[in-house]
Amino acid sequence: MLKHELIHPRINEVLGRAGHHSKILLADGNYPAWNKKGPNAEVISMNLSPGVITVAQALKAVLSAVQIDAVHTMGIPADDPYASEGEPPVWSEYRKVMADSGLPLDLEPILKWDFYQAVESPDHVLTIQTGDQALWGNLLLVMGCRQS
């Protein structure tokens, strides 16, 4: 029996094949997961219904299973109407999940179009497509090295 919180067999298989610098996209319900992905990426749909599951729930499970070196959000372009509203509220939730898991990193925004390019990298191995309805809720995780 697995001891970490991630029990999805296919996700565990993909993560087990991945390594240092591999990228994992936790996609919100608005992300075009099937046409914005790397050539080596697998898409696993966990979008049961609107709001189920959330990116924060996926983040918590993934952080229990693998070492992460960087966490990138999709940064909001200055000309986007949402930019004037400040940081999306869901980013605070991600910070809490990261802190609760002991991950000593901060969120690093990558502007929207650069974020898409980062996802389309050959290093992108997995997209977990969620039903999250939060705006600007996508996260791109970069795997690190196992420390022990």
Quick one: what percent of the chain has pLDDT higher than 90?
Answer: 87
Smallest CA-to-CA distance from 42 within 79, 9, 3, 72 is with: 9
Which residues on adjacent β-strands are paired with residue 26? 128, 139
In the DSSP assignment, the letter for residue 86 is -
* Domain-embedded: residue 1: no
What does the alpha-carbon distance between residue 66 and residue 114 come to, in Å, rounded to a whole number? Answer: 25
What is the average pLDDT across 66-84?
93
* Domain-embedded: residue 148: no
Residue positions counted in the chain? 148
**What pLDDT is recorded for position 148?**
65
What does the alpha-carbon distance between residue 53 and residue 139 come to, in Å, rounded to a whole number? Answer: 14
Distance set, CA 40 to CA 13, 23, 82, 126, 133 (Å): 14, 10, 32, 8, 26
What is the average pLDDT across 83-110?
95
Smallest CA-to-CA distance from 56 within 88, 80, 86 is with: 88
**What pLDDT is recorded for position 34?**
94
The whole model's pTM is what? Answer: 0.95
pLDDT, tens digit, 9 for 90 and up, residues 127-143 = 999 999 999 999 999 99
**What pLDDT is recorded for position 4?**
87
Mean pLDDT of the chain: 94
pLDDT > 60? residue 1: no
Q: What domain range includes position 41? A: 9-143
The structural domain count of the chain equals 1
* Domain-embedded: residue 65: yes
Give 87's contacts (C-beta < 8 A, 6+ positions apart).
none
**What pLDDT is recorded for position 145?**
85
* Domain-embedded: residue 4: no
* Domain-embedded: residue 3: no
* CATH number of the domain residue 88 falls in: 3.40.1650.10
What is the average pLDDT across 32-46?
97
* Domain-embedded: residue 50: yes
What is the average pLDDT across 79-104?
94
